[in-house]
Amino acid sequence: MQIQRKLVLPGEEIATPEEFVVDGRAYLDGVFRAAALGVAVYDRRSHTAVVKPLREDGYPRQGDTLYCVVTSKGVRALSAKCVAKEGRGVEELKYPVSAVIPPQFVDGKVGIGDYIRARVVSNIGPPFLLSIKGPTFGVVRAICPKCGSVMKRRGAQLVCPACGAVDVRKIAQGFYV
Ligand SMILES: [Zn+2]
């Protein structure tokens, strides 16, 4: 049997890098592991394997651009809930997914409740690892820290139309109207 199939659970070992080159919903963590519930298909002749998700899970992939709301600021990372994905337009995700943004991928100020445009930097998740580095990534809708209103952009600053509070954010250029 040159082709073999095996049901795999998220995190389950697929193969060692010495045995197989693994593609699809897998990640390398010393050994290749499944990133999703799926089927691992092994081709023993070419020493390649691919992990196919059991059903199209709609999960974001590395390189995708997501829209997320920042839910909390932890000691080690910001937490966010992602609700939409940029494709030909912006599509709502079938299921919102959780994500984290470590400080090295933030590069500026972000507030709780803000909506951000972010890039997925890892296939592992949820929670998915996001980055808002780069000029077109960052806050697309900021929430006033004093009263919760949506802040308006005025030059490099943001101003609250309700209470007059002024703040700054790492704004996604071209995406904050
Ligand atoms: Zn306000």
Residue 45 belongs to domain with CATH number: 2.40.50.100
pLDDT value of position 56: 60
Amino acid at 19: E
| Ligand 1 centroid from CA 143, angstroms | 8
Is residue 81 domain-shared with residue 161, that is, in the same domain? Answer: yes
Q: What is the pTM of this model?
A: 0.70
Range of the domain at 142: 65-167
**Coil, helix or strand for 49?**
strand
Q: What is the pLDDT of residue 57?
A: 59
What value does the mean pLDDT of the chain take? 92
What's the CA-to-centroid distance between 92 and ligand 1, angstroms? 28
- Looking at the structure of the chain, the number of domains it has is 2
d(CA 78, CA 74): 6
Q: Which two tokens stand for residue 137?
A: 């990534």
| Ligand 1 center–CA 159 separation, angstroms | 8
Instruction: Please name the residue that has the structure tokens 């909390």.
Output: 72
Give the Å distance between the CA of 157 and the centre of ligand 1.
14
Which two three-digit tokens encode residue 154?
Answer: 């005025």
Compute, in angstroms, the gap from residue 153 CA to the centroid of ligand 1: 13
Q: How far is the CA of 166 from the centre of ligand 1 (A)?
A: 8
Cα 146-130-150 angle, rounded to 5 deg:
25
Residue 164 structure tokens: 């007059």
Cα 84 from Cα 78, distance rounded (Å): 18
Contact 78, 92 (CB under 8 A): no
Please check whether residue 93 is in contact with residue 72, taking contact to mean a CB–CB distance below 8 angstroms.
no
**72 in the same domain as 151:** yes
Closest CA to 82 of 151, 27, 43, 129: 129
Residue percentage of the chain with pLDDT more than 90: 73
Same domain, yes or no: 84 and 159: yes
90 and 156, same structural domain? yes
Whether residue 58 lies inside any domain: the answer is: no
Residue 49: beta bridge partners? Answer: 22, 42
The mean per-residue pLDDT over the stretch 33-46 comes to 92
Ligand 1 centre to CA of 151 (Å) is: 7
Could you tell me the distance, in angstroms and rounded to a whole number, from the CA of residue 161 to the centre of ligand 1? 7
> pLDDT band at residue 139, thresholds of 50, 70 and 90?
very high
Same domain, 124 and 49: no
What is d(CA 99, CA 159) in angstroms, rounded to the nearest whole number? 28
Q: 169 alpha carbon to ligand 1 midpoint, in Å?
A: 15
Tell me the pLDDT tens digit for each residue of 52-100. Answer: 887 665 678 889 999 999 999 988 899 999 999 998 788 888 888 999 9
Query: How many A from CA of 160 to the centre of ligand 1?
Result: 5
Q: Are residues 80 and 139 in the same domain?
A: yes
d(Cα 105, Cα 126) in Å, to the nearest integer?
17
72 and 129 belong to one structural domain: yes
